[in-house]
Amino acid sequence: MTMETLPKALEVDEKSPEAKDLLPSQTASSLCISSRSESVWTTTPRSNWEIYRKPIVIMSVGGAILLFGVVITCLAYTLNLGDKSVSILKMVGPAFLSLGLMMLVCGLVWVPIIKKKQKQRQKSNFLRSLKSFFLTR
């Protein structure tokens, strides 16, 4: 299928808003805003909640899923249900248990990584201020 056979309604005009959305902006401010990491240009201090919010949420959800898996697994082995229900509970319980444990461990590992990153950022800020002090004199 060539460009000549496409209907006019499917073609995108270069001056249309759709074409403008497709063009990447290469300014430093737009790159900084669109990046997932913290902005290099702003040095506003952040609270502990802003820093540790994601690991805390991951650990909380992981802990809840882990407890849910423990309860389902215990119910599968203690209740006298039909064979089909017991077999389903015996499959689903350990699955929730392992998923919850995995999320809990991911959150627990994430916290020391963030602490190390904060220390590196503090050292970097200190060295930058020291460098600017000596270069301005």
Output the tens digit of pLDDT for each of the chain's 137 residues. 555 555 555 555 555 555 555 555 555 544 444 445 555 555 677 888 888 899 999 999 999 999 999 999 998 888 888 888 888 888 999 999 999 999 999 999 999 999 999 888 888 877 777 777 777 76
Report phi then psi at 6, rounded to 5: -75, 140
The DSSP output letter for 1 is -
What's the CA gap between 117 and 16, in Å, rounded? 43
C-alpha angle 115/119/121, rounded to 5°? Answer: 115
What's the CA gap between 102 and 96, in Å, rounded? 10
What's the CA gap between 47 and 29, in Å, rounded? 24
Q: What is the largest CA-CA distance in the chain?
A: 83
Nearest CA among 17, 38, 19, 35 for reference residue 27? 35
Neighbours of 104 (CB within 10 A): 19
